[in-house]
Structure 1
Amino acid sequence: MHQHSTTATEAVTLAESRNNGGNGARGRAFTIGAGDARKDGNVVTGTFSINGILATVLFDAGADWSYVSLRFSRQLGLTLIPLETKHVVELADGKSIEASHVLLGCKLNLMGQVFDIDLLCITLGSFDIVIGMDWLSIHRADVLCKEKIVCVPLPNGESLSVQGYRSGATVNIISSMKAQKCL
């Protein structure tokens, strides 16, 4: 299973690599409400386990980084690592908020496959977690927006397909190859 975790120094370096003229690192997070997300053809949502706790998750290719709500971060029982440079997050409405801490090495469970994910702590509305391009890129994940599916290639050559919420549906599915192995 392909996993990635950064050290606190690497996380700070990642944030500082996007330094904006000494004003802090910048990123984008286009968060929307849960009801709108189910209807939106550009994002995938679902409920998945983070460190053994169920979380509402938004897979958003429009977000540069992955984020955790401040409220949910307290439930994870991990030490918040301060960033040396605050990370400024531009929201969809044009407002900016700051992330000053990161949670390293969280465990994201997608249909029994566990992946490491580092999460910047910010104030989020409807979601506990926003999974952005940092995680999607590392894991070469494809977001099939119209179908509301996230496909993650696995090291054994198979692909994990996770069905997100659709209007009126809340079922997560796995690929047919994975289902055959389970049977």
Structure 2
Amino acid sequence: GNVNAQGWVYAVGNVERKGNASRDPDSNVVTGTFLLNNRYASMLFDTDADRSFISTAFSSLINIVPTPLGNSYDVK
């Protein structure tokens, strides 16, 4: 059947942001909903990011085998 799920993709970096980065005209952050392997996902692209990750629930919907990062992160 047709399975719909909200996908989230995150980026992690060492740069501290002031306020709402999406409203900063000098920000290197882009957010939006994009089509990824025929599934819609809410994404955050940050050119200053050191790492990227995707939820395991969403990765299984798009047939991507996740690779552990070796660290844990708190996502807020």
Alignment TM-score, normalising by the size of structure 1:
0.25
- Aligned pairs, how many? 58
The aligned counterpart of 2:39 is 53
Check 1:80–1:40 CA distance in 2 against 1; reply closer, same or farther (3 A cut).
same
The aligned counterpart of 1:87 is 69
Check 1:87–1:51 CA distance in 2 against 1; reply closer, same or farther (3 A cut).
same
Identity %: 33
Q: Which has the larger radius of gyration?
A: 1
Give CA deviations for 1:50-88 in whole Å, capped at 9, x if unaligned.
Answer: 100011111101212332122321321x1525x5xx534
Question: Aligned with 1:71: secondary structure?
Answer: helix
The aligned counterpart of 2:22 is 38
Check 1:79–1:38 CA distance in 2 against 1; reply closer, same or farther (3 A cut).
closer
Question: Aligned with 2:32: secondary structure?
Answer: strand
The aligned counterpart of 2:55 is 69
Check 1:79–1:29 CA distance in 2 against 1; reply closer, same or farther (3 A cut).
closer
The aligned counterpart of 2:12 is 29
Check 1:56–1:40 CA distance in 2 against 1; reply closer, same or farther (3 A cut).
farther
The aligned counterpart of 1:112 is none
Indicate the structure with greater helix content.
1
Check 1:37–1:74 CA distance in 2 against 1; reply closer, same or farther (3 A cut).
farther
RMSD, matched Cα: 3.0
CA distance in 1, matches of 2:38, 2:65: 18
Unaligned ranges ≥5, structure 2? 1-10, 14-19
Unaligned ranges ≥5, structure 1? 1-27, 31-35, 90-96, 99-122, 126-183
